[in-house]
């Protein structure tokens, strides 16, 4: 069979997937590698645009189309599925959204795959080749510690573009179980690890100089997790090809000096950390105990990353029941004071498959419920529910103010210099420069849509000036500390 694996994306909004580095849709590369001989696989990834899907999905070119998709891409996925049906091509959908809403997806596709598909992909292809595709397939939590487990087809590029970084996974699952996150339900609470030998072999096989390690929680939350991660880092240092990389972890890694030193030596130049909020009550509502127990130590732990030479990509969510009109500016100010190198502030978005979505639905707080059209609004840049202490429109407006301020060119270079001061690592500063350029570009691309939606262009006000003042003060502080010993050996870049 000739198979197309498609990653649909929302049409109505810009996001991280449309700016900066083009990151692989790793799940599709994993399935491509699991495809038995005798079949051919092509990937169509709509981060490169929509034209290829509309142009290439035709009878005669493909015998089966497989769709993945996050919630924001579900509307587009159903459009592609309708095109497949018009062409008479069998179509199956999996991924987080289809797993959370299988009955809805079943109304648009011939088959739905629920959960991880590694262990059932061969069965799906055999059924499709025999013309007896079943309406539903159930995938469990696939063991990934055996030969080839979790490995991706690193050399397979989309037919409509080229990824400029590699994606690689060392583990699946997250025990934290945040109320707004679907990872624990989709990939399970236990952290399942791949074989270290398999990881190092894949690490060495990819030709890309920069790797995104896509784990939701690279370092884990306890001593056993940390011990495994540090052994992996030792083996990468000992046997792996020299390359730089970025991943996602929890804040507790900031206190493990050995782990941070090994990560930097192994090539890590940045970690995305979900700080979410500085409000302890909000963290309690989010069920993020590891942050709630450490919120008073955020600065100390961020400094731990910086001393090791690793930059910090801080993710914050606005829209908790305790948040009001001043929370966006206050969060940005505190993030600057913490020394966070790249700040991502997004709208709280209750995704299907999470406890938060179920609770908000039961409480009647969701208003973007004209499904499937409204799934395109679940993009983390629009409020789709009724907050407690601020209107949804006002919350969007104050975040719009921040995006507008973030589009200022001068901030990118100043933040790059500040990262260099804090980490004493040129490569970490270069990485952060690229990240902040990407966020500025995303903000600029989103501004015309914001201006059309809200009907005004934000002007400087007390909130935006507070952010600017905090940033200027932090620059002076780190400039004054430039001569103090800090970070790794500056000769190692």
Q: Could you read off the pLDDT of 356-371 as tens digits, one per residue? A: 999 999 999 999 999 9
Going by C-alpha positions, the residue among 297, 256, 97, 288 that lies closest to residue 175 is 288
Same domain, 201 and 123: no
Query: 168 φ, ψ to 5°?
Result: -150, 140
Q: Which of 138, 155, 185 is the last residue of a domain?
A: 138
Q: Helix 327-338 crosses helix 298-307 at what angle (to 10 degrees)?
A: 40
| Mean pLDDT rounded to a whole number for the chain | 90
Kindly indicate the confidence band of residue 455, based on its pLDDT and cuts at 50, 70 and 90. confident
Same domain, 196 and 131: no
CATH code for the domain of 34: 3.40.50.280
pLDDT of residue 481 exceeding 70? no
Kindly indicate the confidence band of residue 444, based on its pLDDT and cuts at 50, 70 and 90. confident
- Higher-confidence residue of 281 and 20: namely 281
Tell me, yes or no, whether 382 lies in a domain.
no
pLDDT in tens, 380-390: 989 999 999 99
Least reliable range by pLDDT among 88-97, 193-202, 341-350, 453-462: 453-462
Same domain, 133 and 195: no
Domain range for 24 is: 2-138
pLDDT in tens, 260-288: 999 999 999 999 999 999 999 999 999 99
- Higher-confidence residue of 337 and 95: namely 95
Mean pLDDT to the nearest integer, 455-465: 74
Give the span between the Cα atoms of 289 and 178, in whole angstroms: 9
Q: Which of 102, 118, 138 is the last residue of a domain?
A: 138
The pLDDT value recorded for residue 408 is: 65
Same domain, 178 and 327: yes
- Angstrom CA distances, 250 to 67, 215, 282, 290, 328, stand at 30, 11, 17, 8, 22
Tell me, yes or no, whether 363 lies in a domain.
no
Number of domains in the chain: 2
Same domain, 113 and 243: no
Are 82 and 92 in contact by the 8 Å Cβ rule? The answer is: no
Tell me, yes or no, whether 364 lies in a domain.
no
CATH code for the domain of 447: 3.80.30.20
For strands 171-172 and 268-276, give the pairing: unpaired
Give the span between the Cα atoms of 235 and 200, in whole angstroms: 7
Same domain, 108 and 239: no
- The residues, any chain, with a CB within 8 Å of residue 406's CB and separated by 6 or more, are 439, 440, 443
Tell me, yes or no, whether 448 lies in a domain.
yes
Tell me, yes or no, whether 153 lies in a domain.
no
Same domain, 120 and 194: no
Same domain, 51 and 109: yes
> What does the angle CA 385 – CA 390 – CA 393 come to, to the nearest 5 degrees?
60
Tell me, yes or no, whether 411 lies in a domain.
yes
pTM score: 0.92
Tell me, yes or no, whether 342 lies in a domain.
yes
The pLDDT value recorded for residue 487 is: 45
Going by C-alpha positions, the residue among 220, 374, 177, 219 that lies closest to residue 310 is 219
Mean pLDDT to the nearest integer, 314-330: 93
Kindly indicate the confidence band of residue 402, based on its pLDDT and cuts at 50, 70 and 90. confident
Same domain, 177 and 309: yes
Kindly indicate the confidence band of residue 339, based on its pLDDT and cuts at 50, 70 and 90. very high
Same domain, 128 and 199: no
Are 172 and 217 in contact by the 8 Å Cβ rule? The answer is: no
Same domain, 243 and 391: yes
Tell me, yes or no, whether 54 lies in a domain.
yes
Same domain, 232 and 318: yes
């Amino acid at each position: 069979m000739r198979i197309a694996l498609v990653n649909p994306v929302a049409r109505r909004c810009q996001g991280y997937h449309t700016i900066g580095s083009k990151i692989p849709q790793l799940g599709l590369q994993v399935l491509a590698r699991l495809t038995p001989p005798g079949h051919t696989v092509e990937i169509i990834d709509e981060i490169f645009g929509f034209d290829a899907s509309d142009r290439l999905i035709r009878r005669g070119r493909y015998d089966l189309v497989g769709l993945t998709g996050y919630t924001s891409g579900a509307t587009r996925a159903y459009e592609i599925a309708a095109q497949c049906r018009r062409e008479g091509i069998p179509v199956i959908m999996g991924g987080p959204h289809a797993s959370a809403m299988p009955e809805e997806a079943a109304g648009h596709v011939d088959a739905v795959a629920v959960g991880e598909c590694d262990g059932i992909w061969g069965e799906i292809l055999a059924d499709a080749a025999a013309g007896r595709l079943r309406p539903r397939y159930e995938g469990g939590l696939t063991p990934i510690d055996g030969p080839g487990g979790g490995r991706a087809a690193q050399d397979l590029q989309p037919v409509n573009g080229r990824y400029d970084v590699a994606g690689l996974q060392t583990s699946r699952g997250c025990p934290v179980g945040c109320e707004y996150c679907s990872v624990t339900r989709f990939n399970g609470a236990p952290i399942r690890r791949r074989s270290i030998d398999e990881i190092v072999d894949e690490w060495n096989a990819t030709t890309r100089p920069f790797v995104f390690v896509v784990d939701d929680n690279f370092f884990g939350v306890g001593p056993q997790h940390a011990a495994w991660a540090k052994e992996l880092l030792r083996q990468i240092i000992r046997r792996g090809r020299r390359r730089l990389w970025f991943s996602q972890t929890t804040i507790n890694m900031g206190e493990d000096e050995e782990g941070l030193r090994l990560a930097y030596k192994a090539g890590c130049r940045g970690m995305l950390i979900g700080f979410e909020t500085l409000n302890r009550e909000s963290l309690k509502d989010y069920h993020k105990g590891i942050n709630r127990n450490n919120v008073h130590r955020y600065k100390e732990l961020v400094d731990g990353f910086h001393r090791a030479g690793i930059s910090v990509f801080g993710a914050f969510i606005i829209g908790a029941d305790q948040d009001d009109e001043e929370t966006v500016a206050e969060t940005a100010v505190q993030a600057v004071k913490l020394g966070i190198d790249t700040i991502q502030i997004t709208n709280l978005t209750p995704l299907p498959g999470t406890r938060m979505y179920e609770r908000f639905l039961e409480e009647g707080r969701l208003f973007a419920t004209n499904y499937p059209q409204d799934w395109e609004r679940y993009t983390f840049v629009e409020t789709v529910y009724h907050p407690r202490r601020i209107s949804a429109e006002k919350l969007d407006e104050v975040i719009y103010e921040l995006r507008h301020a973030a589009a200022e060119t001068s901030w990118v270079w100043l933040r790059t210099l500040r990262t260099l001061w804090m980490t004493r690592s040129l490569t970490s500063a270069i990485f952060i420069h690229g990240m902040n350029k990407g966020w500025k570009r995303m903000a600029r691309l989103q501004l015309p849509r914001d201006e059309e939606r809200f009907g005004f262009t934000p002007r400087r006000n007390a909130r935006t000036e507070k952010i600017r003042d905090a940033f200027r003060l932090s620059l002076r502080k780190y400039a004054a500390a430039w001569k103090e010993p800090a970070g790794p050996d500056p000769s190692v870049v």
